[in-house]
Amino acid sequence: MEKNIFTKRFSPLPTFGGVIFIIYSLLIFLNGEFLLTEGDTAWIIRTGEYIIQTGTVPSHDLYSYTCPDLPWVVYQWGFMVLVASAYKIAGFHGVVWLCSIIIASLMLLFFKLLRAIGSSILVAFPLTLLATTVATYDWDVRPGIVTQLLFITTLFILQKYKSTSDTRILYSLPLIFLVWANTHLGFIVGFVAIGFTILERYLCFISEKDSVSRAKERRAIVVLVGLLGVSLLVTLINPNSYKLIPYFLRIADAQQNDYIMELKSPNFHSHILISFQLMLIVLIASLAFLPRKAELGTLLMTFVFLIASLHSIRLSPFFAFLSCIVIAQQVNPIFIPDPKKTQANPSITEKLYARLRRFDELEEIFGSWILPLLVSIVVTLTVMSGYTSRIVDLSFSKKNFPVEACNFAMQHGLPGNLYSSGYWGSYAIFSLYPKYKVFIDTRFDMYGDKIFFEVLECEYLTRYESVDVHAGDPNKIFDKYQVNWVLTGKESLLAIFLKKDMWWLEIHSDEVALIFLRNNHANSLWLKENLRASSAK
């Protein structure tokens, strides 16, 4: 057996995985504006602040006037508290650094997972980049990044259990699911991972003829089923208790899902999905041209998530991680030399393996986690000091959000109810609440189909009724909810409609947004008193 000389001495040098963590946490932070492009971030911060201030998780809507006291299942409350705490300490820089740490951690753990199944750095590093490139589709200040991290953690634990058969490794699963159920509804995919592991062991059980092996598989199945049951029970320890899974099933069947971009099928004409297509090609090639080495459970789970991701692009990160595990298991034998072969004429891959072997062993150096930890601490303290604001500007982009228009509304105190789309409604929660409540925001699952389709009618001047589509009239909806001013995009269909309507006045315009006010006597008096001039049509 080859002696590992590296276990005898200490080195402060980081492993290759540590280098990945350091580089990507810093790169993501320095380019962190892309994490602040989702409207959800706005109400995540504000709700986290509410939970910290009151010590309670809201059970009803706080922010809209269209659905007062509507029941709201706040399944991501733990993540909200984390983000709000980071925002309180260091503003948007704290929020982005927190998310950078989470994302870099999931990259590091996935790299470690590939290394644990026998992949050399030559295989593990490119596959880590490929998988995480696909996963970037769901990288933002939302709890989806926590689900990605905990999904990889679950796969790592299950893989370690397969390798060692040590049941003690599985004891951390209930704790993981406890955290997961209080940060995101995505803990469902963790149960899927355990379920397919049980299926794999069952298939091994029925195919084994040796009684000792069958008994071993039977014990494994019992242990996994028991841990699955315990994990399911601990997910009930959350403010919403048993309501989470029924809630998940209800929103999964909502009609609005057909119109939400991230829940639609992938658009393969988009350059963003080139990495998804590349990964799919490599997966098919590895299975078509190489002997099957991939574990059956992982392979079946990969196919299930492939089908799921073709229905909803939001599920593509899970397919990405699983497919890269399958690819690694398929190609690993290529890079491992055959000890039966003579070394007189080693192949190119064998020569490459020999050169990488010493570098691979650096992963086992004790103490190699110290430098990444020190870098994390130093950057955290720098972010908390506010110094990073001199290096990078992080906030809601004025190109994506109606920053100037909302400042105008607050400055002049526009009267009455506000209408805006869901995306901008979320930003309005951040910038205008509690002075103004919103018509709708991106919590579409809470609002339900009825008001969602009313917003579509306002935004696209089209009324959706079952499978039929008719011309819509936003004014009917504005009258229904007593909307007095409208915040909309400068080039939107709604803006074009309101400019032609004599009953609306344009009172603000900037590079991104327009504000329209109802043209009536009360508002005319308000305009004279507050803006000192009436806008001409």
The residue whose two tokens read 């004279």 is 528
**Token pair listed for 388:** 């990073």
φ/ψ of residue 312, rounded to 5:
-145, 115
Name residue 134's amino acid. Answer: V
- Which residues contact residue 195 at a Cβ distance below 8 angstroms, ignoring those fewer than 6 apart? 228
pLDDT of residue 220: 93
Main-chain phi, psi angles of 96, to 5 degrees: -65, -40
Three state DSSP letters for 52-93:
HHHCCCCCECCCECCCCCCECCCCCHHHHHHHHHHHHHHHHH
Q: What pLDDT score was predicted for residue 361?
A: 56
* 3-class state of residue 486 by DSSP: strand
Strand partners, 488: 514
CA 155/CA 157 separation, integer angstroms: 6
CA distances from 383 to 86, 94, 348 (A): 10, 6, 47
Predicted confidence at residue 150, as pLDDT, reads 97
pLDDT, position 2: 39
Locate tokens 């590939």: which residue?
A: 114
Measured at the CA of 146, the angle between CA 140 and CA 150, to 5 degrees, comes to 145
**pLDDT tens per residue across span 9-42:** 445 556 778 888 889 999 999 999 999 999 999 9
Tens-digit pLDDT profile for residues 428-482: 999 999 999 999 999 999 999 899 999 999 998 776 654 445 567 899 999 999 9
Q: How far apart are CA 196 and CA 324, in angstroms?
A: 17
Q: Name the pTM for this structure.
A: 0.90
Instruction: Give me the tens of pLDDT residue by residue for the chain, a chain 537 residues long.
Output: 334 433 444 455 567 788 888 899 999 999 999 999 999 999 999 999 999 999 999 999 999 999 888 999 999 999 999 999 999 999 999 999 999 999 999 999 999 999 989 888 888 999 999 999 999 988 999 999 999 999 999 999 999 999 998 999 999 999 999 999 999 999 999 999 999 999 999 999 998 888 888 899 999 999 999 999 999 999 999 999 888 888 888 888 888 888 888 888 988 888 878 999 999 999 999 999 999 888 999 999 999 999 999 999 999 999 999 999 999 999 988 876 655 554 556 666 566 666 665 555 555 544 457 778 888 899 999 999 888 888 888 999 999 999 999 999 999 999 999 999 989 999 999 999 999 999 999 999 999 989 999 999 999 877 665 444 556 789 999 999 999 999 999 999 999 999 999 999 999 999 999 999 999 999 999 998 887 644 444
Report the distance separating Cα 127 and Cα 132, nearest Å: 8
For residues 53, 56, 60 and 61, what is the CA-based torsion angle, rounded to 10 degrees?
Answer: 20
CA 166 – CA 175 distance, rounded (Å): 18
Q: Residue 362: what pLDDT? A: 54
Supply 378's token pair.
């130093």
**pLDDT score at 5:** 34
3-state secondary structure 262-318: HHCCCCCCCHHHHHHHHHHHHHHHHHHHCCCCCCHHHHHHHHHHHHHHHHCHHHHHH
Structure tokens at 167: 């049941």
